[in-house]
Structure 1
Amino acid sequence: MKPTALPSNVSPLAPALAGKIVEMIRRDWLPEGHRLTEQVLCDELGVSRSPVRKALQYLAATGVVRSEPNKGFQVAKSSKDLGSMVLPEAADSDEAVYMQIADDRVAEKLGTDIAETDLMQRYGSTRTQIQRVLNRMSREGVVERKAGRGWVFLPLMSTAESYRESYRFRMIIEPAAIIEPGYEVDLVELDKCYREQVELLSGGIEKWTRSELFRPGVHLHETIIAGSGNRLLLDALRKVNQLRRLMEYRSKLDRSHMRLQCEEHLVLIDLLRRNERVEASHFLREHLNGAKTRKAGPDSKAGAKLKRA
């Protein structure tokens, strides 16, 4: 389906936020008639009420939500109907600016220390937009604010070898977490993960942005490891996910591999639902090994020697 037309008088932020609201409706499988509270959306999106209200008005114009007196905004289309909807992304949207910054950081065109004024000049953006993007990057563990003025990029994975190392590390901790004594996965969260994977296979792979494609996998793997009840394991995985985020955003996207990944995720979810933990642990290790090979290539000779030792 072609993207919904973007009116000329609409701020680029409105469709960007509208897309995130649509993603939330899909993710949480919100039913038709569900009330969308502005404050909840503000907390979810990290913005004030004014841009949220404009995004809702934009969605009302496209038929995604409806507004009724004394009832506010309500979901007007089911998650299934939203699966075929594509919202436009303006060239100067927050997502586009985020990805430009990510590109330049991975390519080492940006140094570790960054200033808002420099980014404004480089990308032709307003201070408000740059601050929104940096705040999002901060929430995602990409940058942090310096004690004085300015921002600093946090360490990231920038080589294929470091990427392979991250997968080797995950192959150690994630399968082991499943067979920990007392392991109990949160079935409510697991059901949400299931719906996200189904949504991806139902068209999301072709339509979602890189950041939207990244989140469901992170959600599933962190939900799985959280079932161990071991905070150190969960924190370790979250740190790895922060380190690899920009590389994932900027890596070449093979949608056929994404489909295979989602299908394997569904198998893994099914094993966990049936409490077949040993089988799930073995399957997860093979799943991670396959992802490592597809994304970063086979292990180096040094790694192979270490494995035989």
Structure 2
Amino acid sequence: MIKKDLALQLAPRVIDMVRARSMKAGEPLREQTFAQALGVSRSPIRRVFALLAEWDLAIQEPNRGYFLKQGAGQIQEAAVPCASDPFEDFYLRVVDDILSGEIPAHFFEAQLLRRYEVPRGQLLKVLNRLAGEAMVERKPGQGWGLKDFVHSTQAHIHSYRFRMAIEPAALLEPGYQVNHAAFAQARQQQQALIDGEIQTLSRAQLFQLGAQFHEMIVQCSGNVFFIDAIRHQNQLRRFMGYKANIDRTRLKAQCQEHIHLLDLIESDRREEAAQFLWRHLDQVGRLKTDQRAVPEESQI
């Protein structure tokens, strides 16, 4: 039962990755890819794949492994049972302490073990996940260090300036093709946020929805360099998005802008959409840069 509980805890995060990568039906589910991204071994990921097969979201082929049975745009939230995740709670607690300056730029495992009073294995899972997200790194010899951009306002500005360069450009790619199923799901998600989910979802969930939205927009360009770039940016900005105590009312306007962007793209007004997306990123980037001194909760 314990093993299945862990798989249930990991399953929503695996589904999030499937959606973030806009994976299609028939694509292989690779254990090493998901295990490395989630900071766990391959065994629990294998059990997650088995659960996906039980839920009719994946299929196992003898001697070949698991493959998606439904594409990212077809998977509904209700298809994935919810489960509490104490590991995620502990992970976010460490994140909060890093962002608030409670954990120094260079630290040792012993310091955190005394601080949190948790088993070393549990702490290492969190640190390995943070390392996989490019937020911390193991120092030569002993100890760990935060990446320089974690507390850097300048890096935050540069991240948005980079996104302002690549995301609108992706919309203007000659091979851009709208994924209507993914667009429809994104529209439903943004409307659900406007209708009240902004106030009820966790900060991790809010961030994930925002990251998925922007990656989906870029994914339709078919340009692997743009797609890789936005995925890397989402990985980096995840940490910047885990701030607490934000006034979530401003997120409603951002969701409305997301829906308007979908409208522009689907009506084949991609040049106008590119200009709108540039302004959207510029405005949001400036707002969040101004609020860097105040804890934030999510970046959508």
Residue 261 of structure 1 pairs with residue 254 of structure 2: yes
Question: CA 1:221–1:65 in structure 2 vs 1: closer, same or farther (change >3 Å)?
Answer: closer
Does the CA contact (< 8 Å) of 2:137 and 2:144 recur in 1?
A: yes
Aligned to 2:297: none
Aligned to 1:103: 96
Aligned CA-pair RMSD: 5.0
1:99 offset after TM fit, Å?
Answer: 0.8
Question: CA 1:251–1:51 in structure 2 vs 1: closer, same or farther (change >3 Å)?
Answer: same
Aligned to 2:129: 136
Aligned to 1:306: none
Q: 1: distance between equivalents of 2:249 and 2:40?
A: 35
SS of structure 2 residue aligned to 1:89:
coil
Aligned to 1:184: 173
Aligned to 1:82: 77
Percent identity of equivalent pairs: 26
1:151 offset after TM fit, Å?
Answer: 1.1
Q: 2: distance between equivalents of 1:47 and 1:185?
A: 40
Residue 120 of structure 1 pairs with residue 113 of structure 2: yes
Q: Deviations over 1:169-220 (max 9, x none)?
A: 73x5544556769952774697797466346336575675433432453455
Does the CA contact (< 8 Å) of 1:167 and 1:289 recur in 2?
A: no
SS of structure 2 residue aligned to 1:22:
helix
SS of structure 2 residue aligned to 1:249:
coil
Residue 283 of structure 1 pairs with residue 272 of structure 2: no
Does the CA contact (< 8 Å) of 1:64 and 1:75 recur in 2?
A: no
Among residues 186, 201, 206, which one is paired with 1:197 in the alignment?
Answer: 186
Does the CA contact (< 8 Å) of 1:26 and 1:82 recur in 2?
A: no
- Aligned 1:58-97 pairs, distance under 5 A: 63=55, 70=62, 79=74, 81-83=76-78, 85=80, 87-91=82-86, 93=87, 95-97=88-90
Q: 1: distance between equivalents of 2:24 and 2:169?
A: 34
Aligned to 1:18: 11
Question: CA 1:272–1:166 in structure 2 vs 1: closer, same or farther (change >3 Å)?
Answer: farther
Determine which structure has more spread, i.e. the larger CA radius of gyration: 1
Q: Which moved more, 1:280-289 or 1:69-78?
A: 69-78
* Amino acid of the structure 1 residue aligned with 2:85: A
1:263 offset after TM fit, Å?
Answer: 3.6
Q: Deviations over 1:200-255 (max 9, x none)?
A: 3365756754334324534555677897x8x79x869956973x543411233555
Aligned to 1:305: none
Q: 1: distance between equivalents of 2:249 and 2:124?
A: 36
* Amino acid of the structure 2 residue aligned with 1:200: Q
Q: 1: distance between equivalents of 2:38 and 2:165?
A: 34
SS of structure 2 residue aligned to 1:250:
coil
Unaligned runs of 5+ in 1: 1-6, 300-309
Q: 1: distance between equivalents of 2:92 and 2:28?
A: 32
* Amino acid of the structure 1 residue aligned with 2:284: A
1:143 offset after TM fit, Å?
Answer: 0.6
Question: CA 1:282–1:189 in structure 2 vs 1: closer, same or farther (change >3 Å)?
Answer: closer
SS of structure 2 residue aligned to 1:125:
coil
Q: 2: distance between equivalents of 1:259 and 1:180?
A: 26
Q: 2: distance between equivalents of 1:193 and 1:153?
A: 36
Return the TM-score normalized by structure 1.
Answer: 0.64
* Amino acid of the structure 2 residue aligned with 1:104: D
1:110 offset after TM fit, Å?
Answer: 0.9
Among residues 16, 40, 44, which one is paired with 1:47 in the alignment?
Answer: 40
1:154 offset after TM fit, Å?
Answer: 1.3
SS of structure 1 residue aligned to 2:241:
helix
Q: 1: distance between equivalents of 2:37 and 2:178?
A: 17
1:262 offset after TM fit, Å?
Answer: 3.3
Aligned to 1:214: 207
Q: 1: distance between equivalents of 2:133 and 2:208?
A: 11
* Amino acid of the structure 2 residue aligned with 1:147: P
SS of structure 2 residue aligned to 1:214:
helix
Return the TM-score normalized by structure 2.
Answer: 0.65
Paired residues in the alignment total: 282
Question: CA 1:153–1:191 in structure 2 vs 1: closer, same or farther (change >3 Å)?
Answer: farther
Question: CA 1:169–1:17 in structure 2 vs 1: closer, same or farther (change >3 Å)?
Answer: closer
